[in-house]
Amino acid sequence: MTHLKSREAILFGAILGLLLVVATRFPGFVAPENLIAVFTDTSPLIVLAMGQMAVILTRCIDLSVAANLALTGMVCAMINVAAPDLPVGVILTVALAMGAMLGAINGILVWKLSIPPIVVTLGTMTIFRGIIFLLTEGKWINAHEMSPQFTGFPRADLLGMPVLGWIAVLVSAVMLLAMARTTLGRSIYAVGGNPHAAVYTGIDVGKTQFAAFVISGMLAGLTGYLWVARYSVAYVDIAGGFELDVVAACVIGGVSIAGGAGTVVGTLLGALFLGVVKNALPVVDISPFWQLAISGAAIIIAVAFNAQSGRTKGRVILKSAEHAQ
């Protein structure tokens, strides 16, 4: 655990360094209001990364999060068009429930049919996008069709930060508690750390993976509503390719792609790192191509870091060396 803590410190340092470099050329970037704006802009990524982290920890991967987001977001928008007066609370409940259901489909296929997660979610990713097309025949739902309370919720200001930002804070806090202090969180780490050992200790590996997919789906559904409301538009291709950013945030944050290792704080920092890169570089006139290159380099560095710390240190054979450790 100690090396994970130190890598989180390194990541935190990298984010600070990045902010510092940008601040020397454009001091306004590090003004509190702007930092809050950057955080809010990164919030969807943070929320999705929290779910993805749970999935990756169990040695799975969820490539369908962005498609789940788009489908649930579209359904929320359609409900809003049909019943503009429905309270936001109902919409939120629908978003969470529907997202969880879509996640459960992934989970069931992985659990009961033992299909590799990458295949399952690659399939459902395409299916979810296809369903949006079937529902809408490719038409968009635009800002003027949505009710003001529907689009206003994520943008509403609460203690100086939009609700969207607070939701990311809340989700991170809940996940922090869930991973550290619940039996489910512990099972998730155990399943990813050593599935064979987990079976013998009475943990149902498939069921735990199912639970992780439901969490990921639920958070994707939640983000679906927030995304559609924030940008006030819903169409087939929203958040296209965003699942890769989500996986990248986890990997940069130190979640091992082999499962079993990774923390909520690391994932949060990984998402923030990508958010800062995305928001800061245009400000200092660095082309978007460099932005992609920097994100890509960060992923490779993070994976190299994981591989390095995972390398075995050699065996202690001499009795004298055992005490020296």
Partner 1 sequence: MTFQASEQSGDTAFAPVLSLDNITKTFPGVKALDGVELHLYAGEVTALIGENGAGKSTVVKTLTGIYQPDGGQIMLDGKPVHFPTPQDAADAGVTAIHQETVLFDELTVAENVFIGHAPKNRFGLIDTKAMHAKTTEILASIGAPIDAGVKLKDLGIASRHLVAIARALSVEARVVIMDEPTAALSQTEIEELYDLVDTLKAQGKAILFISHKFDEIFRIADRFTVFRDGQFVGAGKMADIKEAELVQMMVGRAVEQLFPKRHAEIGDEVLKVVGYSHPTEFEDINFTLRRGEILGFYGLVGAGRSEFMQSLIGITRPSKGVVRIDGTVQVIRSPADAIQAGIVYVPEDRGKQGAIVDMPIFQNVTLPSLHKTSRNGFIRLAEEFAMAREYTERLDLRAASLNTNVGALSGGNQQKVVIAKWLATQPRVIILDEPTKGIDIGSKAAVHDFMSELAAQGLSVIMVSSEIPEILGMSDRVIVMREGRMVVELQGDDLSPETLVRHAVGIQTKGDAA
- The binding site for partner 1 (CB under 8 A) comprises 1, 181-184, 186, 189-190, 193-194, 196-204, 260-261, 313-319, 321-322, 324-325
Contact status, residue 167 vs residue 226, Cβ threshold 8 Å: yes
Q: Which two tokens stand for residue 176?
A: 């922090």
Distance CA 111, CA 140 (A): 35
Amino acid at 311: R
**Minimum distance of partner 1 from residue 193's CB (angstroms):** 4
**Minimum distance of partner 1 from residue 97's CB (angstroms):** 20
The count of other CB atoms within 10 Å of the CB of residue 122 is 15
**Minimum distance of partner 1 from residue 316's CB (angstroms):** 6
CA 195 to chain centre: 24
**Minimum distance of partner 1 from residue 208's CB (angstroms):** 12
Partners of 311 in the β-ladder: none
Contact status, residue 231 vs residue 238, Cβ threshold 8 Å: yes
Residue 43 or residue 263: which is nearer to partner 1 going by CB? Answer: 263
Using left for φ > 0, alpha for ψ between -120 and 50, and beta otherwise, residue 126 falls in alpha
**Minimum distance of partner 1 from residue 196's CB (angstroms):** 4
Give the Cα-Cα-Cα angle 214, 259, 72 (nearest 5 degrees). Answer: 25
Q: What are phi and psi of 284, to 5 degrees?
A: -100, 25
Give the Cα-Cα-Cα angle 168, 173, 177 (nearest 5 degrees). Answer: 150
Dihedral sign for Cα atoms in the order 255, 260, 263, 267: positive
Between the CA atoms of 255, 261, 262 and 263, what dihedral angle is there, to the nearest 10 degrees? 170
Distance CA 25, CA 84 (A): 46
**Minimum distance of partner 1 from residue 274's CB (angstroms):** 25
SS3 at position 161: strand
Contact status, residue 11 vs residue 269, Cβ threshold 8 Å: yes
Can you tell me which residue has the tokens 């978007």?
288
Residue 48 or residue 190: which is nearer to partner 1 going by CB? Answer: 190
Question: Closest by alpha carbon to 61, among 2, 145, 125?
Answer: 125
